[in-house]
Amino acid sequence: MFKEFKTFIMRGNVLDLAVGIIIGAAFGKIVTSFVSDILTPILSLALGKIDFSNLFVVLNGDVYPTLDAAKKAGAATLNYGLFINAVIDFLIVGFAIFLIVRMSNRLKKEEAPPAPNTKECPECLSAIPLKARKCAHCGSVVQ
């Protein structure tokens, strides 16, 4: 059983997946920091100093100055500002992955299609070898 497990783990695709998940998690932290620490303050300044993380609705109708105050009071809140930050995170990660895949596709060497090894008989339209002088299907002479 250990040998089968070792064989399974040592497959290239399992290791590639593990590396991808680890790098993806680290990349996600970078993007989250970029959004919350750089992009969101710029957007809030451009939109009139709106702090997205403090955009919320208290469901019971009470009023709280900040989301932290509402959470400390135990109020049920609808945190649409945090949702906006999550959507921005997702869009940035998606765009970055798109750029990486696009770049890697450009770097891949395009393989030429294999040269055909058959031709078509002009009489019966069957596939015959390139070197054939006579069709094996209908017997006509092929040039």
Same domain, 96 and 119: no
Residue 78 pLDDT class (50, 70, 90 cuts)? very high
How many domains would you assign to the chain? 2
Alpha helices in 34-110 (DSSP H): 40-46, 67-72, 80-107
Same domain, 15 and 51: yes
Same domain, 66 and 15: yes
What pLDDT score does 79 carry? Answer: 92
Same domain, 77 and 121: no
Token pair, residue 88, equals: 């921005």
Other Cβ atoms within 10 Å of 102 Cβ, number: 10
Q: Which of 34-43, 58-67, 88-97, 103-112 has the highest mean pLDDT?
A: 58-67
Is the Cβ–Cβ distance between 86 and 55 less than 8 Å? no
Same domain, 53 and 87: yes
The number of helices, as runs of H, and strands, as runs of E, in the chain is 5, 4
Same domain, 88 and 135: no
User: Which DSSP category does 139 fall into?
Assistant: -
What pLDDT score does 85 carry? Answer: 82
Same domain, 82 and 134: no
CATH number, residue 31? 1.10.1200.120
Give 33-55 pLDDT, tens digit per residue: 887 788 777 877 887 777 777 88
Terminal Cα-to-Cα distance of the chain (whole angstroms): 62
Same domain, 67 and 128: no
What pLDDT score does 12 carry? Answer: 65
Same domain, 76 and 134: no
Same domain, 55 and 121: no
* 28-31 CB contacts, 8 Å cutoff, 24+ apart: 28/89, 28/93, 31/89, 31/92, 31/93, 31/96
Task: Print the domain residue range for 80.
Answer: 2-111
pTM of the model: 0.54
Same domain, 86 and 137: no
Q: What are the two backbone dihedrals, phi and then psi, of residue 110, each rounded to the nearest 5 degrees? A: -75, 125
What is the average pLDDT value for the chain, to the nearest integer?
83
